[in-house]
Structure 1
C-alpha cells in the first residue's frame, strides 16, 4: 500500500478508543488498558485506514468513476485473502439481514 504521510494533530478527536479498549480486554488485556497503548493502536488503525482509502481512491480514479465503491477496496485488498474473505462474508451477511428485514416488514404490513 502507498505510504501516506502521517499528520499529527495534538488535540484531535479519538474515534475508536472505546472500541479498542473493549477489543484489548476481549483479547486478555486488563479492563483499564494503558492510555498510551490505546493512542498508539488508534494511530496505527487510522493510518492503515487512510492508506487503504487512498489506494482505493487511486483505483477509483483509474477506473474513471466518480464515487468510491466496495469493489475499489476489494481491488486494493486482492492480495490479502483473509481480509478479502472477511469483506465477502460481511457482504453476504448484509444481504441476508436485508432479506430478513424485508420479510419482517412484509409480515408486519400484512398483520395491519
Structure 2
C-alpha cells in the first residue's frame, strides 16, 4: 500500500491533545477555550503539514541514495519557504552551541572527579565542628577565641 494511502486511513482521528491545540491557538491570539471545530481543523492542518514534510524529506534522501534522513534533506524539502529555512538554520546553530557548551563542562574530567573524591574521603575528626570556625580572608580560624 502506498504510504500516503496509509495516512488516509487515520483521517478524522485527532493526533494532538486538546491541551496542546488549545495552547497553540491561544499563543496565536485565540480565546482560552476555542471551538472544537477549530481544534479539529488545526489538528488536521498540522498533521498534513508534518506528513507532507516527512514524505518530501524521505524522497530527498531516497534520491540521494540514502535510507537515513539528514538535516540537509529537511532543508531541501523546505527550500521554497525562506522562513522555514531560517528557523531550521537557527535550530542547527543553537544545537551546535549547546553541544559546544556541553563539551566545556566534561563530567568525566579527572580533575573534577579527583577533587570530589578527595573531599569525600577526608575523615572528620572529633574537633571538626563548623559552629566554632569562621572563614576570614579565605582561611579558617577559631571564631572569637
Q: Which has the higher strand share?
A: 2
Structure 2 CA distance for aligned equivalents of residues 108 and 40 of structure 1 = 52
Q: TM-score, normalised by structure 1?
A: 0.80
Gapped runs of 5+ residues in structure 1? none
Structure 2 CA distance for aligned equivalents of residues 34 and 110 of structure 1 = 58
1:81-92 equivalences in 2 (<5 Å): 81-92=82-93
Superposition CA RMSD, Å: 2.5
Identify the residue that residue 45 of structure 1 maps to in structure 2.
46
Would you say 1:75 and 2:73 are equivalent positions?
no
SS at match of 2:65: coil
1:4-15 equivalences in 2 (<5 Å): 7-9=8-10, 12=13, 14-15=15-16
**Structure with bigger RCO (C-alpha 8 Å, 6+ apart):** 1
Identify the residue that residue 97 of structure 1 maps to in structure 2.
98
Task: Report the CA distance between 1:86 and its aligned residue.
Answer: 0.6
Task: Report the CA distance between 1:11 and its aligned residue.
Answer: 7.1
Task: Report the CA distance between 1:19 and its aligned residue.
Answer: 2.6
Task: Report the CA distance between 1:10 and its aligned residue.
Answer: 6.4
Task: Report the CA distance between 1:16 and its aligned residue.
Answer: 5.1
Residues 16 and 80 (structure 1), Cα distance of their counterparts in 2 relative to 1, 3 Å cut = farther
Q: TM-score, normalised by structure 2?
A: 0.64
Q: Which has the higher helix share?
A: 1
Would you say 1:56 and 2:47 are equivalent positions?
no
